[in-house]
Amino acid sequence: MADLRLSRQGNTFTILASQTSTTSNSGTTAVQLPWVRNGLYFLLDVTAQATDVGDTLDVQVQTSLGGTWIDVVAFTQVLGNGTPRKYLSDMVQVNATQAQSNPADTLAADGVRHIIGDKWRVTWDETDADADSSWTFSVIGSIQ
C-alpha cells in the first residue's frame, strides 16, 4: 500500500506520533485540525508488533463533540503473529448529514463515521497473551 501522504491530495497531520506501547490507552492528547472540506482518511502504521498468537491491538480514532468523545474509526484488529503493515480507514465524510437527525440513529453503527468534531485523538486496547507484548505504531490523517 502506498504511503497516505503520497497517495492522497490534501493536508496531512499527525494525530499520534510513532511510539512503542505495552499497555492500553484511553485517550491521547487531542489534536485540533484545520477546516475539513470533504472528509478525512486515517492511516494506522504498525511498524513493530507483538509476536504471540493471542496478542491483539485494537486502535480507534475519536472526535469530540461538546466535550464528549465519540469513536468514528475502528481499524482492523492487529494480530500479534502478523506482519507489520499499514491500515487505511474509510473516509469520514462531511457531507453525510441529514436535515433532521435522531441522535439514536446518528450515533448508531455507520452513522458515527460521518461525525466531524472539533478535536481528534487515538485510543487503543492491547491484549497480551503472556506479559511480553510491545507494539510500535502511529496514526496520521489526510484532510480532503
Query: DSSP for 51-93?
Result: -STT-EEEEEEEEEETTEEEEEEEPPPEETTS---EEEPPPEE
Q: Does 121 score more than 60 pLDDT?
A: yes
| pTM, entire model | 0.78
Best CATH choice for the domain 4-143 from the list 3.30.450, 2.60.120, 3.30.70, 1.10.12: 2.60.120
Mean pLDDT (whole number) for 50-74: 89
- For the chain, what are the domain ranges? 4-143
In the predicted model, what is the mean pLDDT of the chain?
A: 79
What pLDDT score does 122 carry? 94
Given pLDDT bands bounded at 50, 70 and 90, which one contains residue 47? very high
C-alpha cell at 27: 485517550
What pLDDT score does 99 carry? 43
